[in-house]
Amino acid sequence: MSYELDHIETLIARDIDNSLSPEERETLQSWLAADASNRAYYDALKSTWSLASKADIDYAPATERHWETFRQHITPAPARSIFYTYRHALRIAAGIVLLGGAATVYFTLLRQPDVTVFTAAREKKTVTLPDGSKAYLNQQSKLTYAAGFKGRERAVHLEGEAFFEVTQQSSQPFVVYAGHTQTQVLGTSFDIKNYEDKQVEVAVVTGKVAFSTRANQQQRLVLKGGDKGVLQSSQTLKQVPIEDPNFMAWKENRLSFQDTEIRDVINTLQDYFNVHITLKDTQMANLRYNGTFDPEQLGSVDAVLEVICPTVNLYWKKDTDGNYILVSNGQ
């Protein structure tokens, strides 16, 4: 997850004022846990705030301008005046003036810049992380991490899908934040899928991982090789065995179907090629297919459909939008 400094400072201000919502508190705690320098910045701001509260309240240079800037970042609670009194407002405004200088020092001396890697449709990338771990990004994914892993953990934030090969470093856990979940490992290889509007899934190939929600790290699943963890809702975790032989197809560039129903073959092809395929005759969905496609055979979905369709008495065509339609030869 990428954090905006203005937003974080707003959350710190609300934390000092004891007006954080549960969701805001979770965001702040996640930011604090992401890097040791974040905690140092937080402590420095609280100290600065404390100094500001003890300062001469009659001295408030550019108070109105700074207070207005601060006010625009805060949504006051309905039943309260804005931070209770104008005197209190002046103290907070004075603190914000000092915080601006603290932010400059923080980003110049303490904060390691974030690195963000994107992949487009049908694009894959291999990323070598600062500790030597590897992240293999699937299409339409985003990976964000600090330029150096110097905090209590090696934290990365994922949107989309990636396969990780993690170097062992027991003193500094490797943690992947994906949606409402976090996955902590010491040394292992695993796949995480976190696409928008879909459930978060973690599939472990080797080693072990601890899979939990970010809000409740005490209730976690310990997954080993061959296990998959699924976040069914924002708080419900489920452990199941990995049954899909093609869950790593995007990385290995190989598809294997063993007595697989056509409906599942279609779903696999849609995910792999990022296309939309419709089976016109739904009664054909239960037909089964056997076959394997190596990398040189996966140049296009057209080529794959040319192999699959004749074996199950189907043919394919495209509509005006470029979507694929599978039709029975009897129609």
Q: What distance lies between CA 305 and its chain's CA centroid?
A: 33
- Fold observed for domain 249-328: Phage tail protein beta-alpha-beta fold (3.55.50)
Residue extent(s) of CATH 2.60.120.1440 domains in the chain = 114-241
The boundaries of every CATH 3.55.50.30 domain in the chain are 249-328
Using CA atoms, how far apart are residues 112 and 120, in angstroms rounded to an integer? 26
Q: What CATH number does the domain located at 114-241 have?
A: 2.60.120.1440
What is the C-alpha separation between 12 and 8, in angstroms, rounded?
A: 6
Widest pairwise Cα distance in the chain = 88
CA pair distance 248, 246, nearest whole angstrom: 5
Report the pLDDT value the prediction gives residue 82, as an integer from 0 to 100: 39
- In this prediction the pTM is 0.62
pLDDT of residue 118: 95
CB 277 within 8 A of CB 326: yes
Cβ proximity of 45 and 102 under 8 Å: yes
Q: How far apart are CA 298 and CA 285, in angstroms?
A: 23
Q: How far apart are CA 10 and CA 80, in angstroms?
A: 17
pLDDT in tens, 172-212: 899 999 999 999 986 789 999 999 878 899 999 999 999 99
For residue 2, is pLDDT > 80? Answer: no
User: Measuring CA to CA, which residue among 208, 211, 125 is closest to residue 161?
Assistant: 125
CA 113 remoteness from chain centre: 18
pLDDT confidence of 159, banded at 50, 70, 90? Answer: very high
The residues, ordered by sequence, that sit 6+ positions from 7 with a Cβ below 8 Å of its Cβ are 73
> Measuring CA to CA, how many Å separate 269 from each of 72, 123, 148, 303, 319?
48, 16, 38, 12, 17
